[in-house]
Amino acid sequence: MKYSIARYWREKHSYYRLKATKCLKCGRINYPPSKVCKYCGSRELEDTELFGLAKVLTWTVIYASPSGYEEYKPLIIAMVELLGTGVRILTRLTDVDPEEVREGMLVEPVLRRTSEDGEAGIIRYALLFRPLIKGAPEIESNK
């Protein structure tokens, strides 16, 4: 077992959902969640969740993957910006080939297997982003 079960359990909500905090003073979204607003320094923040469409800002393709990720390569690592929030997330793209990725491409979050601890260990799930399914309506960026 290479993975820390305790850490995965402790951080599961960060993997399954896009947890953030919203500053009650300046209204900005802090992602990852922070107890101090990185924009105005206020300590008055409330928990919130992000979900919705994002656009691809930039990306890179990794062919020599770290251990545990061999099944999923090539890995497309992208910086995406959630529409309407300004929040930027470093994530992995899925359901897309490297040559299909474009700057400004609309993507949406999906739960996927991200790595597994050998044959018998824990399977890690997390939200990745994939190109918007045709026909999907735009949904609120910040529910």
Partner 1 sequence: MVNGLLNPEKETGIIGWGSYIPRYRLPLDEIARIWGFAKETPRGLRTFEKAVASRDEDATTMGWEAALNALKRAGINPGEIGAVWFGTESKPYAVKPSATIIAEAFGITPDTMATDLEFACRAASEAMRIAIGAVASKLVKYALVIGSDTAQAEPGDVLEFTASSAAAAFIIGPSNEAAAVFEASYTYVTDTPDFWRRAYIPYPLHGEGFTGEPAYFHHIVNAVKGLLEKTGLTVNDFNYVIFHQPNGSFPLKVARKLGIPREKVLPGLVTPYIGNSYNASALIGLSKVLDDAKPGDRILLAPFGSGAGSDAYSIVVTDKIIDRKDKAPKVGDYLARKKIIDYGMYAKCRGLIKRVRR
Residue type, 19: K
- Calpha distance 97→66 (Å, rounded): 19
Q: Where does residue 19 rank: exposed (0-12), middle (13-18), buried (19+ CB within 10 A)?
A: middle
Nearest to 72, CA basis, from 41, 112, 102: 112
Least Cα distance to 56 among 74, 17, 82, 75 occurs for 82
Query: Is 135 a binder of partner 1 (CB under 8 A)?
Result: yes
Residue span binding partner 1 (CB under 8 A) among the ranges 25-33, 40-48, 52-60, 129-137: 129-137
Of positions 71, 90, 103, 104, contacts partner 1 by CB under 8 A: 71
Nearer to partner 1, 26 or 139 (CB): 139
Exactly one of 41, 66, 111, 138 binds partner 1 (CB under 8 A); that residue is: 111
Residue 34 CB, shortest distance to partner 1, in Å, is: 21
Q: Could you say whether residue 74 binds partner 1 (CB under 8 A)?
A: no
Question: By the 8 A CB rule, do 35 and 21 touch?
Answer: yes
Q: Minimum Å distance from CB 64 to partner 1?
A: 16
Binding site for partner 1 (CB under 8 A): 12-13, 16-17, 67, 70-72, 94-95, 110-114, 118-119, 123, 125, 128, 133-137, 139
